[in-house]
Structure 1
Amino acid sequence: TPLVCYGCFLTVCLSVCAPAARTRGVMKEFSDVYEQQYPVALFNSVRFEIEGGGGTQSQLLHRKDPLAGRSIFSGSLFQYLEENRKWRNRFVSVPNSYIISLYDSKAAHERGLHPKVSINCAGYKALTSMEEYMELINSSLPDTKGKAGSNPFIKCATQFPLILWHPYARHHYFCVMTEKEQKKWHAVLQDCIRHSNNGLPEDCTVQTPAFTDAVRLYRQAKGHYGTWDMMCGTPTQILANLVMETLDPELKNTIGPRLKGKIQQRQRNWMLISDAVYRQVLSQTSGQYQALVEACEAQRAPLDARLRTDMDQIITSKEHVSSKIRALVLPKAEQLLRNNVQPYINSILDALMEPTSRGFSEVRDVFFRELVEISKNSINGGGKEKLGDHMERLSMLAFHPVKMQSCYEKVEQLNLEGLQQRFSVSSTSVFVNRAQILMGEQMDNAVYTFEQILNQSLEAKGESDLCKTIQRCQDRVLKKYDYDSSTVRKKFFREALLQIIIPYMLQHLSPSCSPELPRFKELIFEDFSRFLLVENVFEEVVLQSVTKDIMMAVKEAAVQRRHNLYRDSIILSNSDPNLNLLGETSPVDWTTKFGGDEPEGSFCGGMAEGGSGKKRRQVVSMIQLDGVPLPYESCLEPLPPEPRSPDSVDEIRDLINPVVEVVLPVSKENQSDVANGMKPVTGTITMEDGVQEQITHVTTMVDDVPRKSPQDKMSPQTILQQLVGSKKQEAEKEHQEEAAIKNAIEEIEIAVQEDDRERIAEVAKSDLESSPPPAKDSSSHLNGEEKIIDPVDVEVILA
């Protein structure tokens, strides 16, 4: 309409039409590549099934479904609502799918209501500071870079923020009250991101390789070689990222200059636009990819039948074509390898091995320390119920983000330095994430193997000398872990080297070799042309040219003791046939086996998937109270009463200002002189550890339990004044406190009646035992033979 300016109209058209048109274009090109790669992936799958594949046999057992019936974490935190720009208390549940669900309250979660927000963390980053977040925001939109230290467009309610950042999707802002909460939540969020980024399911032996190869070949055709950070999440998310890779810069250049207002407002508006576009692209790629997969799967049966009939002829034809392409490619590949790759292989390998080996070593140490705790329990006379509790907690060690955090941090130090630019590696996050996933798998394999071996030993020998039995099983499992971790690391190093080197070689060989490839299509029979593509054969030839050097480099590294790798000549396959039989048995239910009840509060208050209504056991405990060791608390600790974030100023003040209860004597006759309520007081009090704390308020409560009163008494106001003093007397506080307490005790001793000595002393002892440490010094003289009078509970609020 004439009322709409041309610039706004153009912006709206771009925001609506450009994503749809770009998505259709990208999906059309991708679909063509996917349809070509699907028969090739099917051929490789059927060939592997027929010929079989050799591989090093694992020494540790593998658990099939370790997280069945469990959730990871739940708790309360503040969420920032962009609609009204306010912070709201939310109950957060993290099930075993690692999709974060936010509810209005815990009751809404327990009733099975739909969450307010569900967050799939694929592609996100978990941040713990506004400074780090603003660095990413300031570089996200051209021509809106803020000055250093510019104020963010949101004000965090506390000094402990938690931010989920995504290059395209909506950002999520949270905060908690304590640093310990922040560390635990950050570990949980990182674990959700780690598992969401963990690639596509490997059990899909046709769809997964067809999809990954199609994405790689599509990006290579656009000139993008090397690793890609946004190759994470579901196929739909990856395709949406593929569209946004080219669409996002265009929208920034077109829409960015038209955004008006202050820099914070322009940044906020751009994020809203980016999220809306991303959701639109995500919706479109979902439907189109589903239709593509269904079309290819419909052709699978006839393709599979033809493959099984003509497999020998297809393999012979492929070998013939490979020999011809090898004659063309190998001379160029060997020269490139000799001049530009071989000198850097050892440097790349060292950069990968150091942090990765430290991480796997930390996994071993964490596992060992947990077993030591179980052995200590058996030595100290812990019963079988205690053993059941310890083993139940140990079973979830690999999925405890906080306990595994020390292992994951070692790998995060991975740095390829200058090699990253030379080989076009966008970042090391791909390798870090993969190494962390492998570490978690190895930890769970070690735990599961220990469970099975210990269970077998207890059934054979009983529970006598439990400590020695645990130590024997521990030594047996650690030897197997050392071998398996060595095998897994060497495989990881080989794959990482290939991911770094192969794209570099393809990028340099393709310009000269690709124009020659079409002539090799004439060597392939038309009936086999769908299963044999010269582009794939070309990449296999390049892969074979560098494999020998990579294998040799890893083999030489295994000789060095500092990497804790076994030599390839050491083979332990089938070294423990009895253990292989245990792998077929079901997991041990330690709680049922030892007859213990489920620890109260060890369940997450949520509905199980599928609407079964069963509550899930929770892997990570709630936030612990101050003073409780955090790094090695149990994985399945009984949950304390649900910690609730404050909803009012008074509740926040109560969290910041601790309350100390002090019991002071007062007679029944003088209770009328003591008024219940809170009074502002200025003074200090000396805690048990000698630290002086400021007193801001005193709340007095009188116990109305009838008791015999002494003849001579002091008022609680007088005693309180003698205890805390006034602000003017702070310099002489310690001496005044001692004198006041001494005088008070002397007067109480004189007033005590002899005939009620024993009865009142028992009451005093029970009252004093329930009193907190700060009141210990002022009331400890009332134990034993002295008599006391009726107590008055006084709450002292510390600044």
Structure 2
Amino acid sequence: MKSSLGKLFSQHVILVENLQTNAMKEFGDVYEQQYAVALFNSVRYEIEGGGGTQSQLLHRKDPLAGRSIFSGNLFQYLEENRKWRNRFVSVPNSYNINLYESKTAHDRGLHPKVTINCAGYKALASMEEYMELINNSLPGIKAKVGNHPFIKCATQFPLILWHPYAHHHYFCVMTEKEHKKWHAVLQDCVRHSNNAGLSEDCTVQTPAFTDSVRLHRQAKGHYGTWDMMCGEPPQILANLVMETLHPELRNVIGPRLKGKLQQRQRNWMLISDAVYKQVLSQTTGQYEALVEACEAQKSPLDARLRTDMDQIITSKEHVNSKIRALVLPKAEQLLRTSVQPYISSILEALMEPTSRGFSEVRDVFFRELVEISKNSINGGGKDKLGEHMERLSMLAFHPVKMQSCYEKVEELNLEGLQQRFDVSNPSVFISRAQILMREQMDNAVYTFEQLLNQSLEAQGEENMVKTIQRCQDRVLKKYDYDSSTVRKKFFREALLQIIIPYMLQQLSPSCSPELPRFKELIFEDFSRFLLVENMFEEVVLQSVTKDIMMAVKEAAVQRRHNLYRDSIILTNSDPNLHLLGETPGVDWAAKFGGEEPDGSVEAEERGSGRRRKQVVSMIQLDGFTLPYESCLEVPGVELIPEEDAEACKEEDQEDEEEEELGLHEDPKSPDSVNEIRDLINPVVEVVLPTSPQTILKQLVGSKKQEVDKEEAAIKNAIEEIEIAVREDDGERVAEEPAAESDGESSPPPVPHSRSRDDSGFQSPTNEGPDDGELQPITNDNPLHGPPETGEKLQRGNDFKNLLSRG
């Protein structure tokens, strides 16, 4: 198995390198051309000016400065030894997912065990969703209905990060409430990472890159939207290479994989991940070199543009007129027969769920303001007002509170139109709408903060309820106006994204062969800024723009979905409101001297003494909490229960060494009797079942799957540990009450520092002083299930070594 897979992969390394090199060379040539065109458009816009509708709401420049998003604990599946390990997870404002051995490791500033960039991933909440994607990963192999996965989840609440090319990540939690919240957090990480790579402030690099990707895909025959246009430019380029490379490798390597279905799926995933890492490492360096080369030419090109701008524009208009004479008659004919009849239905499919989502944003914002008003009416005082305002300030970035808004737009469905217009997936439009909804929520919150702060400084804190009400009314009116403006722009852009690729695909076969003769009309000095391919697309764009603008305008005139007419301007617009946007944000907790609210828990920033306010606090398990290093072992599908005793012993020794290396201390030597007791009976908020077997079944998540022999062994081991603890307890603490020694008849005491509210969130400040010192549950602990065979473990390690060498 080792030699065959290694040889199979190494035979195709050259194929991977050749395809990747050729793809990047082709892209580089297109990018250099599009960079000069983008620079021309940027300088022309700067000289001629122009702009859109003035926003009514204020915009916060860096809303997440000094913030972290989330932290908490969940179980991660370790594929190398098929175990579920409890990890501390921290999500900083970069939205990368950092996994640590424990909260102590995070607080000490240690590097995370794993860092996940979620760009390109999908956050799945069930094993059924995952298996549907996995079963379609290998062509020609039909999986049976209800086919078992190659991993066995420790609980009934899995969370999976799936990627079409890269490594998959498996997690699980203990309760349904926790499951929903973690799923919302992971979705937010994916949403942000997908849209954070291409900045709109880069007026040259971003359009040059996006146009180059589009033209490169069109040259390969791929028109229409692309759902892997996500992440940083090197990640997008890696996805671009894999779009061609992945099917070729799968067709060649897939039929030659041996073993059972689950093993072939797993091996293919390992190969795909190895190839993707190799491609990504290459595209990262090559893109940086490409951008550096283009930036080096920017200054002389910019100077030439500013000198000859009038002549370049005149030359472009002349060539445009010639291309328009060729293309326009064909475009208008295509427009009448195949596009115009569908514009209204496409627009309606976009407007309905998007408008519901923006309406839900308004409702969520309004409900938060009502809570603040109630607090003032009930005499909550300045401290409570500070807490409410601190929570409100991060409302747009609270994935759980925003989830109802995001779910509305996820109902967007272009079924019936996808095949005609080559729309691969509506996720492109859903993701864009959700980002716009979050921006509008934050704009509304920030504007309310600034207006309220201004009113309080001018009028004092008397009649607080009326002051809040006046600010609320002003902000909601501004939100309605901006929401209408943003949605109309979104609808126009979405219609163009759907229709233009279809028209280009239909017109290119007849028009593209005629374009080279128009190059003769362009002066050689201007040829870098004027490309006939770009002007052809501009003519097609102009041919359909009028119809799209008219369709959106008619929807606004009919007052459908609360859209304002273009002619409507707010009569009570604040001319000096934008001046407030230049002032620093309000620190409400400091202003009113209140304590940090639960939704703004402070988390220490790694590697520094500063502390970051956290948007969402830690999740508190409803039943109990586990020691940070607790580890559950779950066998794979093919694992045989009858194990070789020597293999079990070797694996136990390896796991013990792993624990010792990770914490630099002996996990078998707790510092105190209390720590031993905490390891046996985890601290809880409610009365726990007195049976150790019941606690064990809750941790593993299965009540009837353990065989009698294993249960008896586990029971005996736990009883032996408890006897040892009681003996040690009697020797060290002779004055301890006798009632405390009865571990079988009474639950462990509940420290008040762990008793928190019912929201399901827990502040890191509630951690007990000894939390960071909890010792790991080693392989000698009865919480472990049956270990895997040494033969299968060695086979997996051999295969990974082959991949790394390849």
TM band (smaller chain)? 0.7 to 0.9
Aligned 8 A contact 1:77 1:645 in 2: no
- 1:644 to partner: Cα distance: 5.5
In the other structure, the counterpart of 2:296 is: 298
* Larger Rg belongs to: 1
What is the aligned-residue RMSD (CA, Å)?
3.2
Q: Is the 8 A contact 2:76 2:170 kept in 1?
A: yes
Determine if contact 2:38/2:207 at 8 Å carries over to the other structure. Answer: yes
Residue 114, structure 1, aligned to residue 138, structure 2? no
Change (3 A) 1:259 1:651: farther
SS at match of 2:120: coil
**Matched residues in 1 for 2:469 and 2:626: separation?**
37
Helix, strand or coil for the counterpart of 2:576?
A: helix
Say whether the 8 Å CA contact 1:56–1:573 is kept in structure 2: no
Change beyond 3 A, Cα 1:679–1:477 = closer
Match of residue 186, structure 2, among 185, 189, 208: 189
Q: Distance in 1 between matches of 2:231 and 2:557?
A: 38
- Give the corresponding residue for 1:483: 481
Partner of 2:702: none
| 1:136 has 2:133 as partner | yes
Give the match's secondary structure for 2:171: strand
**Deviation string, structure 1 residues 722-742 (Cα, Å, up to 9, x no partner):** xxxxxxxxxxxxxxxxxxxxx
How far 1:586 sits from its partner (Å)? 1.2
C-alpha distance in 2 between matches for 1:9 and 1:194: 36
**Could you tell me which residue of structure 2 aligns to residue 324 of structure 1?**
322
Question: Distance in 1 between the 2:432 and 2:578 partners?
Answer: 27
Structure 2 counterpart of 1:153: 150
Query: How far 1:11 sits from its partner (Å)?
Result: 1.7
For residues 544 and 564 of structure 2, the distance between their equivalents in structure 1, rounded to whole angstroms, comes to: 23
Name the residue aligned to 1:517.
Answer: 515
Pick the aligned partner of 2:68 from 49, 67, 71.
Answer: 71
* Aligned twin of 1:635: none
Pairing 1:544–2:553 present: no
Question: Of residues 205, 228, 235 in structure 2, which corresponds to 1:237?
Answer: 235
Unaligned runs of 5+ in 2: 634-676, 695-714, 716-721, 727-733, 737-744, 746-754, 756-806
Corresponding residue for residue 502 of structure 2 = 504
Q: 2:458 aligned with 1:460, yes or no?
A: yes
Contact 1:78 1:645 in 2 (8 A): no
Residue in 2 that maps onto 1:691? none
Please state how far the C-alpha of 1:385 moved relative to its aligned partner.
Answer: 1.1
| SS at structure 2 position matched to 1:84 | coil
The match for 1:34 is 31
Contact 1:57 1:573 in 2 (8 A): no
After superposition, the Cα gap between the structure-2 partners of 1:114 and 1:4, relative to the gap in structure 1 and judged at 3 Å, is closer
CA gap 1:262/1:528 in 2 versus in 1, 3 angstroms: same
Secondary structure of the 2:54 match is coil
**Given that residues 76 and 643 in structure 1 are in contact (C-alpha distance below 8 angstroms), is that contact kept between their aligned partners in structure 2?**
no
Q: Aligned with 2:265: secondary structure?
A: helix
* 1:250-303 deviation line (CA, Å, top 9, x unaligned): 111111111111111110111011000000000111111111111111100000
What code does the residue aligned with 2:255 have?
P
Q: Which whole-Å deviations, capped at 9, do the CAs of 1:225-267 have from their partners, x for residues lacking one?
A: 0000111111101111111111111111111111111111110
Contact 2:84 2:632 in 1 (8 A): no
For 2:475, the aligned partner's letter is V
Amino acid at match of 1:613: G
Q: Which has the higher contact order (CA 8 A, sep 6+)?
A: 2
SS in 2 for 1:373: helix
Q: Deviations over 1:390-437 (max 9, x none)?
A: 101100000000000000000000001101110000000000000000
Deviation readout 1:176-221 (Å, 9 max, x if unpaired): 0111111111001000100111151111111110010001001101
Q: Mean Cα displacement is larger for which, 599-608 or 524-533?
A: 599-608
Cα displacement string for residues 617-638 of structure 1 (whole angstroms, at most 9, x for unaligned residues): 11012225659xxxxxxxxxxx
Give yes or no for contact 1:334–1:545 (8 Å, CA) kept in 2: yes
Distance 2:406 2:475 in 1: 22
Are 1:378 and 2:376 counterparts? yes
Query: Which residue number in structure 2 is paired with residue 617 of structure 1?
Result: 613
Contact 2:387 2:595 in 1 (8 A): no
Classify 1:423/1:680 alpha carbon distance in 2 versus 1 (closer, same or farther; 3 Å): closer
Q: 2: CA distance between counterparts of 1:678 and 1:424?
A: 60
Matched, 1:473 2:456: no
| Structure 1 residue 652, shift from structure 2 partner | 11
Name the counterpart of 2:270: 272
Q: In structure 1, how many angstroms separate the alpha carbons of the residues matched to 2:688 and 2:510?
A: 83
Please give the residue correspondences for 1:251-650 in structure 2 after superposition, counting only pairs within 5 Å.
Answer: 251-572=249-570, 575-599=573-597, 602-608=600-606, 611-624=607-620, 647=631
In the alignment, the residues of structure 1 paired with residue 130 and residue 571 of structure 2 have an alpha-carbon distance, to the nearest angstrom, of 49
Q: 1:34 to 1:78 in 2, by over 3 A?
A: same
What SS does the corresponding residue of 1:402 show, helix, strand or coil? coil
**1:613 Cα shift?**
2.6
What is the CA–CA distance in structure 1 between the aligned matches of 2:552 and 2:378, rounded to whole Å? 46
After TM superposition, give the deviation of residue 679 of structure 1 in Å: 11
* Secondary structure of the structure 2 residue equivalent to 1:403: coil
Matching of residues 730-741 of structure 1 within 5 Å: none
Runs of 4+ with >3 A deviation: 7-10, 597-606, 624-627, 640-662, 677-681
Query: Match for residue 86 of structure 2?
Result: 89
3-state SS of the aligned residue for 1:358? Answer: helix
Whole-angstrom CA distance in 2 between matches of 1:81 and 1:351: 43
Partner Cα distance (1:29, 1:164) in 2: 32
Secondary structure of 1:401's counterpart equals: coil
Q: 1:130 to 1:651 in 2, by over 3 A?
A: farther
Output the amino acid matched with 1:21. Answer: N
Contact in 1 for aligned 2:165/2:272 (Cα 8 Å): yes
Deviations 1:344-382 (A, max 9, x none): 000000000000000000000000000000000000001
- Alpha-carbon distance in 2 for matches of 1:619, 1:389: 13
Residue 16 of structure 2 aligns with which residue? 19
Whole-angstrom distance in 2 between the partners of 1:600 and 1:354: 35
Give the TM-score of the pair, scaled to structure 2.
0.78
**Paired residues of 1:352 and 1:493 also in contact (CA < 8 A):** yes
Question: How many angstroms apart in 2 are the aligned matches of 1:560 and 1:205?
Answer: 36
Other-structure match for 2:57: 60
Q: CA deviation at 1:607?
A: 1.9
With the length of structure 1 as denominator, give the TM-score of the two structures.
0.79
- The sequence identity of aligned pairs, in percent, is 81
What is the CA–CA distance in structure 1 between the aligned matches of 2:2 and 2:124, rounded to whole Å? 40
* Structure 1, 547-556 or 138-147: larger mean CA deviation: 138-147
Q: What aligned pairs does 1:704-715 form with structure 2 within 5 A after superposition?
A: none
Q: Is the 8 A contact 1:144 1:267 kept in 2?
A: no
CA distance in 1, matches of 2:559, 2:147: 50
- For the 8 Å contact 2:601–2:617, the answer to whether it is kept is no
- Aligned counterparts of 1:661 and 1:519: Cα–Cα separation in 2: 82
Distance across 2 between alignment mates of 1:457 and 1:251 = 64
Query: 1:486-514 deviations in whole A, cap 9, x for unaligned?
Result: 00000000000000000000000111111
Give the Å deviation of 1:660: 4.0
Cα deviations by residue, 1:696-719 (Å, 9 ceiling, x for unpaired): 9xx99xxx999xxxxxxxxxxxxx
The residue that corresponds to 1:755 in the other structure is none
1:559 Cα deviation after fit: 2.1
Which secondary structure does the structure 2 equivalent of 1:239 belong to?
helix
CA–CA separation in structure 2 for the residues paired with 1:14 and 1:679: 54
Structure 1 residues 525, 490: closer, same or farther in 2, change over 3 A? same
Distance apart, 1:616 and its partner CA: 1.0
Which residue of the partner structure matches residue 209 of structure 1? 207
Give the paired residue count.
665
Deviations 1:721-778 (A, max 9, x none): 9xxxxxxxxxxxxxxxxxxxxxxxxxxxxxxxxxxxxxxxxxxxxxxxx9xxxxxxxx
* DSSP-derived class of the 2:618 partner: coil
Report if aligned partners of 1:354, 1:563 keep a CA contact under 8 Å in 2.
yes
Contact persistence 2:138–2:250 (CA under 8 A):
yes
